[in-house]
Amino acid sequence: MNVSIATLVSEDPARALPLLRDAILREPENASAYRLLGRTLRKLGRDEEALLAEGEAIRASTQDPALIAIARALMVGDLPVAESGLRQRLREQPTDVAAIRMMAELAGRIGRYRDAEALLRRALELAPGFTAARANLATVLYRQNRFGDAVAELDTVLAAGNVQAGDLNLRAAALGRVGDYAESRRIYAELTATFPDHAKLWMSYGHILKTLGEQAESIAAYRRAIAIEPGLGEVWWSLANLKTWRFEDADVAAMEAALQEPALSDDDRLHLHFALGKALDERAASARAFEHYSQANRIRRDQLEHDPEGVSEQVDAMTATVTPAFVAARKNAGHPSPDPIFILGLPRAGSTLIEQILSSHSQVEGTMELPDIPAMAMREAQAHGGRPRDWPKALAAMPPERLAELGAEFLERTRVQRKTDKPFYIDKLPNNWAYLGLIALILPNAKIIDARRHPLDCCFSNFRQHFAKGQAFSYDLNHIGRYYRDYVRAMTHYDTVMPGRVHRVIHEYLLDDPETEVRKLLAALGLQFEESCLEFHRNTRAVRTASSEQVRRPINRDGVDQWQPYEEWLSPLKQALGDLPETYARR
């Protein structure tokens, strides 16, 4: 019967309609009949009724004992059982959107976000009013760093009227990532008023307040979160990450007490260790501070499993591919836009300071650390059958017109970050140094700045820093030293094959003689000198990075030589760096 009715739905929906209504009267829980009814009503242009039918199909599916059993397997993390059940279900009922959504959840659990996205889009094609699937799609887009797309999907969810607190929370987070901090702040203010005992909401609210430079309000929000959940390590680290703020003795005691809790998660534990390291560093208790830093890094290193050989191999592949002849053969093949300014190097090397200086210029807009170049490079590498780091191989195989397409794609992807009509804008993702050859060829007129800091200060600052995501190299002293060495090796190669393409800012030179270095920087970008660039600390723009509070102060040398009290424990770092502490500024 179902096959004949399905055929009738396609060929003569008006005749199919009463048959389907009769089938549902006989079997009120027949999800397949509801799905066919939804398709029929859409073919007849009765979309509002179709939405109701599709909703009933989802409801009926979720009452099915077989699907309930699969959901339970998902809940307890038995993914093989869930996957087997879902595959069988979708073989039998390929348009069951509830099962499709669950398969998307399974794909997301194992990090297959593109598969999850495709499944959710299929579910929404079959049932456009399936708001739970659309909210899931927003989450998947967010996890792929497609924040503007996530906001668009959430706006559709909210317009449907079934507003969930989780959707508002995700929307606030996504808005923060596209630079709409005021709206993000408003949503968090409302959520914390509605859920005053939710510690993580207060923490997220504190993050946005910090970004906006409202430090007192940010601290108050973090304090509120700690009062609700004293063992929430990320809040303690968020306070430590203010950099210019100092812990009280009572805070140290509270963190030490929290660490004694046996049930504390690894994430809470590592955040507490990082925060205690900072608190003890403030008290010049170097040995105890280093022990906490070491414990924190050990936990995080084991979670991320960084491969230093992989970084070295990528640099080897780049130097073998990006030769003078290779660059000359592709000269000006990319997109001609001069708009982007890339600031790259290592984290904690002064890139936020340079961005703050430049964004104080009338012609330059600061954005944030944009994820687009790495995402595009890894996608191209995988499309050519390689590993994510094999972008040089993909670059070598690209026809010239593909370079221009990728340049145009970057401009389009980052358009959402631009809030002014200033002609130039900054992407300050430090890790872009690993993709500089790609950047230079797809955007031949973009400006590139290498932010470089003394390797011992820079690398030890990374060791003391917990990053919200990525930077897997930074949790082992030997790995950090090798990463810095590979970065310098890559930049030296680019200086040879693309002479003059990169302007280097040595952090210590900038601290010693700000005006001279700022004038050189602006000249390299083709910009007129403006006094406002020396008054960067008066700039009220939002800043997301760990240096947000530091760049709201005049230039100072507080961060110089902070590695020295820890020198006796830094042998693995020194051995990995070799002669770079003496030669870094000359390379």
Structure tokens at 339: 């708009």
Asked if pLDDT for residue 399 goes beyond 70, the answer is: yes
Band of pLDDT at residue 204, cut at 50, 70 and 90: very high
Whole-number average pLDDT of the chain: 90
**In DSSP terms, which residues pair with 364 in a beta bridge?**
424
Q: What is the pLDDT of residues 441-469, one digit of tens each?
A: 999 999 999 999 999 999 999 999 999 88
Question: Which residues does 564 contact at the CB level (< 8 Å), separation at least 6?
Answer: none
Pairing of strands 424-427, 447-452: unpaired
Question: Which residues does 476 contact at the CB level (< 8 Å), separation at least 6?
Answer: 297, 301, 306, 572
Question: Which residues does 79 contact at the CB level (< 8 Å), separation at least 6?
Answer: 73, 106, 109, 110
**Which H or E run contains 344?**
strand 340-345
Band of pLDDT at residue 497, cut at 50, 70 and 90: very high
3-state secondary structure (DSSP) of residue 337: coil
Question: Which domains does the chain possess?
Answer: 2-62 (1.25.40.10), 230-305 (no CATH), 311-455+501-554 (3.40.50.300)
Q: What is the pLDDT of residues 250-292, one digit of tens each?
A: 999 999 999 999 999 999 999 999 999 999 999 999 999 999 9
Q: In what order do the strands lie in the sheet with 502-506?
A: 364-368, 424-427, 340-345, 447-452, 502-506
3-state secondary structure (DSSP) of residue 16: helix
**In DSSP terms, which residues pair with 403 in a beta bridge?**
none
Distance, CA of 567 to CA of 553 (rounded, Å): 28
Helices (DSSP H) in 146-285: which residue ranges? 147-159, 165-177, 181-194, 199-211, 215-228, 233-240, 249-259, 266-282
For the chain, the distance separating the N- and C-terminal CA atoms, rounded to the nearest angstrom, is 76
Please give the model's pTM, rounded to 2 decimal places: 0.80
Distance, CA of 27 to CA of 166 (rounded, Å): 35
Q: How far is CA 123 from CA 58, 99, 144, 363, 543, in A?
A: 11, 9, 19, 45, 38
Q: b/e per residue, 427-458, with b = 16+ CB within 10 A?
A: bbbbbbbbbbbbbbbbbbebbbbbbbbbbbbb
Mean per-residue pLDDT, 93-99: 87
Q: Give the pLDDT of residue 89.
A: 85
Task: Assess contact for 506 and 585: CB atoms under 8 A.
Answer: yes
Task: Assess contact for 493 and 505: CB atoms under 8 A.
Answer: no
